[in-house]
A and B are shown apart, each in its own frame.
Chain A
Amino acid sequence: MTNSTTRTRLVPPNAAAPRVRRGGAAARRDGFWPWLFVLPLLSGIGVFYLWPIAQTAYFSFTEWGVFGGATWTGIANYTRLFADPQLYSALGNTLLYTAIVLLGIPIAVYIASLLNMPGLRFASFYRVLFFLPYVAMPTAVAMVWRIIFNGDFGILNYVLSFVGIDGPYWTSTPGFAMFAVAIVGLWSSFGFSMIILGAGLKNIPPELYEAAELDGATPWRRFRSVTVPLLTPSIFFVMIITIISSFQLFDLLYALLGSTNPILPKSMSLVYFFYSQGFVSNDKGYAAAIAMVIFVIIGIVTLLQFRLQKRWVNND
């Protein structure tokens, strides 16, 4: 009902006007309403997340006993951490992983735009295939991938042997292990990127393509000058989420390489580094400092992306 009334009122030769008005005037009008909208969420976020995180921040300045009981040690954990070569090796591994997983995004843009072609048959069937890995339980798929990657009876090396390649022991050779983990990471996050980008594509008005087509733009050019610019909000969203979750690599690494894998110390991600110090070696204060460093790194990367996003969109 309301919908239809507003729509008749919408006829908007004057699209610019409302934009100017939203500012101080709106602020006064919203009054207590925004708090009604955000407080239910914020109270939970505060109690279940912010408070625990604040505690962790505090503990990073302490020597924290295995079961609690913290003694203030100032920045001792941080000075030790920055001198610890494991931090840099873990950071390097995490960056490598993130870089490989990010490669999935351009592919996802391409696949999503193929799936978005009007009149494409079997589109939903293909979509299910590409989305499947995202549905999978990490514990469940890690098992299959370990068997696929197995150096002695794995199908990957069996297939490679046909092309004359003697495949490595993927999950137990330092250089290859992170690569193998990243392949699975890309594989399992692909469905998410695809679905977000797909939703973004659906929102691009078709007439823009037609206009470009009338101007004689080639499909590639249409893709570059219509699809990509209008998709940037979605691309940025996917990138931010991908980077944030890649920096938090833990479960997959743990499940794929196995908790007793001798190369684990060399293929450690940042969060695994945190975990091994906090929950295995029982050095919780030090682990809290690692956690804070992870937090700051991700924060900086995300902030840079937001900056970049603003500039990109404004210059366009």
Chain B
Amino acid sequence: MTDTITAPRGTTTRATDSRVTARTTTVKKRKSPRRGGSHTIAHIVLGVGGLLMAFPFIWQILMSLSTNAEVQSVVPTFWPAELQWQNFAEVFNRMPFLAQLKTSVLITVIRGAAQIVLCTMAGYAFARMRFRGRAFLLAITLSILMVPSQVYLISQYQVVQGFGWLNTLAGIVAPGLFSAFGTFLMRTAFLNMPQELEEAARIDGANPWQIFWKIMLPLARPSINVLAITTVLWSWNELLWPLVVSTYSDTMPLSAGLATLVGDKTTDYPVVMAASLMAMAPVLILFIVLQRKVIDGLASSGLK
């Protein structure tokens, strides 16, 4: 239903492509003074909002460099008297950071790759192909989203046990290869794409796989990027499952290692803060490095 509305929109864009680019440039030129004015407001809103959003992290960085007493002083200490860099070094004594980092990276890469492949394929079929039981299978798949993961923890564990995958990387990784969310996301993406490209390719004699692989997949890149980001973050931060299914501390991911550190009876705030920052840093850096490619890239890949 949605696609009947959105598909023609895509077509219009494509058909008028060259005209549009020409026109936008002239428009931009014409309007630049007024745009400048509204940019000021935008900068104020974005600056203040962004600061509020980032504040907990700034606070966290400051605390990670403070002493425990400074963290707990009644009048907040905004700047530590002396920067306590050793808090970061201490993290390596408290948890097997590098081993857990390796595990985190490994499971994240595997699940990311698998979800991109499986969800894109299934999402495409659900959006663009006709087959018996499609609506039913889609509804069933989506219904999984509606059940909290704690609910099926024990049953899922027994399935993995049945495969003999306890304490293995396969066990940690397996359920996360398949994502109902990813399928939903990719289906939405394919629904919004123009029908005509496919039709044309079909007339050219391309088979469905070729159409998917050569035509639709490149078009879906922005959404695949979104899927990649969400999968990486989810996988990186997931806590309960890796804890339950793995038995050896040094093969646990960072999220589990951090929870173990926080769970200690003695709460040493600064070291916990330092460990938190270190555990989040890899994905954060990855995002900052890739964000231009990932998000700014949405425009070009989406419309050309």
Pairing of A with B: yes
Residues of A within 8 A of B (CB): 2-3, 5-6, 9-12, 15, 18-19, 21-23, 26-27, 29-30, 33-38, 40-42, 44-45, 47-53, 55-56, 111, 114-115, 117-141, 143-145, 147-148, 152-153, 155, 158, 187, 190, 192, 195-196, 198-199, 202-203, 205-207, 210, 213, 219, 230, 233, 237, 241, 244, 247-248, 250-251, 271, 274-275, 278-279, 288, 291, 294-295, 298-299, 302, 309-310, 313-314, 316
Task: Tell whether A302 pairs with B178 under 8 Å between CB atoms, given A41-B118, A119-B35.
Answer: no
User: Chain B, 38-50, contact with A by CB distance < 8 Å: what is the 0/1 string?
Assistant: 1100110111011
A-B pairs with lowest CB-CB distance, top 6: A140-B276, A129-B50, A52-B155, A44-B178, A52-B152, A37-B125
Q: Which residues of A contact B196 (CB under 8 A)?
A: 10, 12, 15, 18
Q: Which residues of A contact B156 (CB under 8 A)?
A: 48-49, 52
- Which of these, A121, A124, A127, A206, contacts B24 with CB under 8 Å? A206
A23 to B, closest residue via Cβ: B130
Q: Are B280 and A137 in contact (CB under 8 A)?
A: yes
User: For the complex, what is the distance from the CA of A40 to the CA of B287, rounded to whole Å?
Assistant: 29
B59 interface residue (CB < 8 Å to A): yes
The minimal Cβ–Cβ distance linking B302 to chain A, given in whole angstroms, is 5
B265 interface residue (CB < 8 Å to A): no
B164 interface residue (CB < 8 Å to A): no
Count A-B contacts at CB 8 Å.
Answer: 345
| Interchain residue pairs with CB less than 8 A apart (5) | A27-B130, A33-B208, A38-B126, A202-B222, A237-B185
Q: Which residues of B contact A141 (CB under 8 A)?
A: 56, 60, 276
User: For the complex, what is the distance from the CA of A5 to the CA of B203, rounded to whole Å?
Assistant: 11
Task: Tell whether A114 pairs with B146 under 8 Å between CB atoms, given A19-B7, A55-B155, A199-B223.
Answer: no
Q: Which residues of A contact B295 (CB under 8 A)?
A: 124, 127, 195, 198-199
Task: Tell whether A2 pairs with B141 under 8 Å between CB atoms, given A37-B129, A202-B302, A233-B6.
Answer: no
Q: Which residues of A contact B151 (CB under 8 A)?
A: 53, 56, 274, 288, 291, 294
B75 interface residue (CB < 8 Å to A): yes
Q: Are A6 and B197 in contact (CB under 8 A)?
A: yes
Task: Tell whether A190 pairs with B237 under 8 Å between CB atoms, given A34-B131, A49-B178.
Answer: no
Task: Tell whether A120 pairs with B223 under 8 Å between CB atoms, given A52-B159, A147-B71.
Answer: no
Residues of B within 8 A of A (CB): 1-2, 4-9, 11-16, 19-20, 23-24, 27-28, 32, 35, 38-39, 42-43, 45-47, 49-51, 53-54, 56-57, 59-60, 63, 71-76, 118-119, 121-122, 124-126, 129-131, 134, 137, 140-152, 155-156, 159, 174-175, 177-178, 180-181, 183-185, 188, 191-192, 195-197, 199-204, 206-210, 212, 214-215, 218, 222-223, 226, 229-230, 233, 236-237, 239, 255, 258-259, 262, 269, 272-273, 276-277, 279-280, 283-284, 287-288, 291-292, 295-296, 298-299, 302-303
User: For the complex, what is the distance from the CA of A118 to the CA of B174, rounded to whole Å?
Assistant: 43
The minimal Cβ–Cβ distance linking B247 to chain A, given in whole angstroms, is 19
Q: Are A3 and B214 in contact (CB under 8 A)?
A: yes
Q: Are B223 and A118 in contact (CB under 8 A)?
A: no
- Which of these, B180, B212, B280, B284, contacts A49 with CB under 8 Å? B180
Task: Tell whether A56 pairs with B155 under 8 Å between CB atoms, given A3-B218, A48-B175, A134-B233.
Answer: yes
A241 to B, closest residue via Cβ: B181
- Which of these, B208, B230, B255, contacts A30 with CB under 8 Å? B208
Q: Are B226 and A51 in contact (CB under 8 A)?
A: no
User: For the complex, what is the distance from the CA of A10 to the CA of B199, rounded to whole Å?
Assistant: 9
Q: Are A233 and B192 in contact (CB under 8 A)?
A: yes
With A2-B201, A134-B233, A141-B276 already in contact, 9 other A-B pairs whose C-beta atoms are closer than 8 Å: A6-B197, A15-B196, A26-B129, A33-B207, A34-B130, A41-B122, A44-B118, A49-B178, A111-B49
- Which of these, B12, B51, B126, B239, contacts A205 with CB under 8 Å? B12
